[in-house]
């Protein structure tokens, strides 16, 4: 696992500037922020290198891939085969996010599907994995708020 550092106000300002203009060059960022070009370049390299920035692929909307339906699947797994079950679940491409959780289920998976029948097929594929004991599925009706870190970046930047 990478060891990411905490973002400081300059890191946050660089990221906010890139949010405003994703095609901004290092030179234009340095001019906008009033810092040396090498400083901006070094900061961006560190943010990419230590895992502070997620890959560009995480910005792709599943709708653009023909998968507009989002489901949240709680998964109970056998503790004796949890590592193997998790590894098998990770091979299902429609699982776009997965967390180990507390409560009744062991995992919570966010899944993208074309339609309810596709979601059913994905759930059945999960249930066919050795160690998966039970699932419970909820379909998203509408995304009322997408993943956002803008307010957190603004606070880290000092209220930019």
At 33-56, the pLDDT tens digits run 999 999 999 999 999 999 898 888
pLDDT of residue 47: 93
pLDDT of residue 1: 52
Q: Which of 44-53, 84-93, 102-111, 121-130 has the lowest mean pLDDT?
A: 44-53
* Phi and psi angles of residue 70, each rounded to the nearest 5 degrees, phi first: -110, 130
| CATH number for the segment(s) 9-53 | 1.10.10.10
pTM: 0.86
Element (H, E) at 25: none
SS3 of 94-141: CEEEEEECCCCCCEEEEEEECCHHHHHHHHHHHHCCCCEEEEEEEECC
What is the percent of the chain with per-residue pLDDT over 70, rounded to a whole number?
98
pLDDT of residue 3: 77
Domain spans in the chain, listed from the N-terminal domain onward:
9-53, 62-139
Beta strands 95-100 and 69-77, pairing class: unpaired
Distance spanning both ends of the chain, measured CA to CA: 31
| CATH number for the segment(s) 62-139 | 3.30.70.920
């Amino acid at each position: 696992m990478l060891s990411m550092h905490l973002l400081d106000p300059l890191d946050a300002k660089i990221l906010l500037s890139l949010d405003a203009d994703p095609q901004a060059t290092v030179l234009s960022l340095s001019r906008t922020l009033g810092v040396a070009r090498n400083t901006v370049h070094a900061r961006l390299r560190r943010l990419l290198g230590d895992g502070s920035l997620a890959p560009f692929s995480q910005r792709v909307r599943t709708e653009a891939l023909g998968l507009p339906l989002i489901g949240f699947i709680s998964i109970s797994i056998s503790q004796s085969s949890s590592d193997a079950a998790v590894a098998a679940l990770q091979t299902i491409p429609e699982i776009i996010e997965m967390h180990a959780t507390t409560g009744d289920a062991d995992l919570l998976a966010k899944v993208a599907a074309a339609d309810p029948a596709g979601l059913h097929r994905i759930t059945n594929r999960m249930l066919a994995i050795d160690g998966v004991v039970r699932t419970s599925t909820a379909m998203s009706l509408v995304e009322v708020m997408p993943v956002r870190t803008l307010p957190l970046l603004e606070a880290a930047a000092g209220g930019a």
